[in-house]
Structure formats: C-alpha cells, structure tokens
Amino acid sequence: MLRRNQREIVARNEIGAELSQMEGKHTLMGIRKSAAYLGIKVSTLYQWVSQKRIPYYKSGRLVMFDLKDLDQFIEKSKVNAAKEIYEY
C-alpha cells in the first residue's frame, strides 16, 4: 500500500503526463487533481475555495481550476529568503 506522499508523487506524475498532451489548451482540472498538483489535501482546497483564497471556476456544484491560475497562485505564494542567508 502506498503512503500518502508516494500517492501524491504518483498523482503528480499522472497529471504531468496528461498536461503535456494538453499543452497550449485551456486546461481545467477537478478538485482532486488540483489538490494533488498543489500538494495539499482536498479538504484544504475546498476551504481555500470557500474563503476565496484561490481562483476557481464553478458550474453548478462543479468546482474547476485552470492550470495557469494554479501556477500563478504558487508564484504569488512564494516567500523570498532574508538577505542574511545569502551573505557569507
């Protein structure tokens, strides 16, 4: 039985293979694939949606995420290191 981290790695590899085939298209993913792509739990992603912390599309009860929006969200969440770390 695979551990959670191993399942996440497998899911990311599967997503990567699918995305490479869809390159250049408007790529929407469901909640599970998006959570795996971000490396978080599905419940955390649902919480972020309810708090409007992450961009998403909704059609009825279906929640979808654009890959480009997820990548931008990751970039905006980046925290730069303090200067002291770079100075030796």
3-state secondary structure the chain: CCCHHHHHHHHHHHHHHHHHHCCCCCCEECHHHHHHHHCCCHHHHHHHHHCCCCCCEEECCEEEEEHHHHHHHHHHCCCCCCHHHHCC
In-domain check, residue 74: yes
Q: Report CA torsion sign: 19, 38, 75, 70.
A: positive
Range of the domain at 36: 4-79
pLDDT digits (tens, 9 = 90+) for 40-59: 999 999 999 999 999 999 99
In-domain check, residue 84: no
pLDDT digits (tens, 9 = 90+) for 12-43: 666 665 655 555 667 899 999 999 999 999 99
Model pTM?
0.65
CATH code for position 45: 1.10.1660
In-domain check, residue 85: no
